[in-house]
């Protein structure tokens, strides 16, 4: 009888521990910038490998409305953590000075902002855009850098016709010859054109970062009230995400499986190629290899803010690097090395 009572007590204690563990998990809603595509792999890897859970987090990952529009979701607290364009954050903060949203983890050290065209358009250099029609969605993160791109490359923008196009029709219009080039994220437009039947050799991708743009790209950003109330949660999310990025960089072929579990209609071959392109061009730059994942260079960020001022007239004093990004939640550099 005593032995049975002892076993019952052990079983009860185990059940209580399990319940307490479940209750200890902090629910976190995280918003992506876009769909469940190849570049979102690090977050799903961190989820599937239990990195978020190990930090006491029950993370839900949702799709987003684009790299610009989603910032308002973080500011409102609808999503306490999101993945959006840090350059657009500078503009958002200027328009909403009471919203102290900050980035806490740089993901795209090199932004995927690009001008994409088809070979027959004859666009091989920035100046070749003169006399052409550029299809650009008004809320597009790449198009937001147009004026700076024009200035850096001495383009006569009066000779470029800008046509406001919707995201869903952007690549189809280019494929059909209704526009000569489009703005977009390199790894989105490139593979969308492949899906439209355009031959790989005919797709021309001109990364703005290769033509004078010093900007950073998308980063993890946090609602200020949430960060203040939950600093350990934010630090834990950042730490787990960095592990997901490093694992993805080491083995993208395995990482893409975590994406495809959530995107059953997607083409795994295309999403893997999209992921590998983003890792090479955006995630894992020479700077990241030398300094580790997630941080920034303050001088470069200051230069980037000056470049943002070319595309946007600040109503308030221009922000400083520390207004847009904080390293307070990053783990030591040794834990962020590839």
Cβ atoms 160, 128 nearer than 8 A = no
User: Does the pLDDT value for residue 21 go beyond 60?
Assistant: no
Cβ atoms 220, 241 nearer than 8 A = yes
* pLDDT at residue number 12: 52
Q: Which structure tokens are listed for 12?
A: 């009860």
| Longest CA pairwise span in the chain (Å) | 92
- Encode pLDDT of 146-171 as tens digits: 999 999 999 999 999 999 999 999 99
Lowest mean per-residue pLDDT among 16-30, 38-52, 129-143, 214-228 = 16-30
Q: Which structure tokens are listed for 287?
A: 């700077």
User: Does the pLDDT value for residue 26 go beyond 90?
Assistant: yes
- Encode pLDDT of 92-135 as tens digits: 999 999 999 999 999 999 999 999 999 999 999 999 999 999 99
Confidence of residue 327 (pLDDT cuts 50, 70, 90): very high
- Encode pLDDT of 27-57 as tens digits: 999 999 989 999 999 999 999 999 999 999 9
Distance from C-alpha of 151 to C-alpha of 282, rounded to nearest angstrom: 23
Residues with Cβ within 8 Å of 252's Cβ and at least 6 positions away in sequence, in order, are 41, 272, 275, 276, 279
Three-state DSSP state, 43: helix
Residues with Cβ within 8 Å of 147's Cβ and at least 6 positions away in sequence, in order, are 157, 310, 311
Q: What is the pTM of this model?
A: 0.89
- The three-point CA angle 206-275-191 to 5° equals 55
Confidence of residue 331 (pLDDT cuts 50, 70, 90): very high
Q: Which structure tokens are listed for 258?
A: 């975590």
Across the chain, how many H-helices and E-strands are there? Answer: 15, 10
What does residue 30 show for φ and ψ, rounded to 5 degrees? -120, 130
To the nearest whole number, what is the mean pLDDT of the chain?
93
Give Cα 83 distance to the centre of its chain: 5
Helix (H) or strand (E) holding 181: strand 181-185
- The three-point CA angle 73-80-335 to 5° equals 125
Would strands 113-118 and 181-185 be described as parallel, antiparallel, or unpaired?
antiparallel
Q: In what order do the strands lie in the sheet with 113-118?
A: 161-163, 133-135, 181-185, 113-118, 203-207
Cβ atoms 283, 249 nearer than 8 A = yes
Confidence of residue 20 (pLDDT cuts 50, 70, 90): very low
Cβ atoms 229, 219 nearer than 8 A = no
Q: In what order do the strands lie in the sheet with 81-85?
A: 57-62, 26-31, 81-85, 218-222, 102-106
């Amino acid at each position: 009888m005593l032995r049975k009572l002892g076993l019952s007590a052990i079983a009860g204690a185990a059940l209580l521990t399990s319940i307490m563990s479940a209750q200890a998990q902090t629910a976190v809603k995280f918003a992506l910038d876009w769909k469940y595509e190849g570049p979102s792999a690090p977050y799903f890897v961190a989820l599937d490998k239990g990195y978020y859970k190990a930090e006491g987090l029950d993370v839900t990952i949702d799709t987003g409305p684009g790299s610009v529009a989603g910032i308002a979701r973080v500011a409102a607290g609808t999503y306490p953590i999101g993945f959006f364009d840090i350059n657009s954050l500078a503009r958002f903060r200027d328009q909403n000075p009471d919203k102290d949203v900050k980035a806490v983890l740089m993901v795209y050290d090199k932004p995927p902002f690009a001008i994409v065209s088809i070979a027959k358009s004859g666009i091989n250099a920035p100046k070749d855009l003169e006399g052409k029609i550029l299809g650009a969605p008004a809320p597009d993160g790449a198009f937001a850098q147009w004026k700076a791109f024009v200035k850096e490359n001495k383009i006569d923008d009066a000779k470029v016709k800008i046509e406001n196009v919707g995201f869903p029709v952007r690549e189809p219009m280019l494929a059909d010859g209704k526009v000569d080039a489009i703005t977009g994220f390199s790894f989105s437009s490139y593979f969308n054109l492949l899906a439209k039947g355009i031959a790989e050799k005919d797709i021309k991708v001109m990364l703005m970062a290769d033509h004078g743009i010093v900007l950073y790209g998308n980063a993890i950003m946090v609602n200020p009230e949430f960060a203040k109330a939950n600093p350990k949660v934010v630090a834990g999310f950042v730490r787990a995400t960095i592990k997901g990025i490093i694992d993805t960089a080491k083995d993208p072929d395995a990482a893409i499986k975590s994406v495809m579990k959530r995107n059953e209609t997607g083409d795994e071959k295309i999403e893997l190629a999209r992921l590998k392109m983003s890792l090479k061009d955006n995630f894992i730059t020479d700077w990241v290899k030398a300094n580790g994942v997630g941080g920034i260079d303050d001088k470069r960020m200051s230069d980037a803010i000056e470049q943002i001022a070319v595309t946007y007239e600040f109503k308030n004093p221009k922000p400083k690097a520390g207004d847009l990004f904080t390293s307070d939640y990053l783990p030591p550099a040794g834990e962020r090395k590839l």
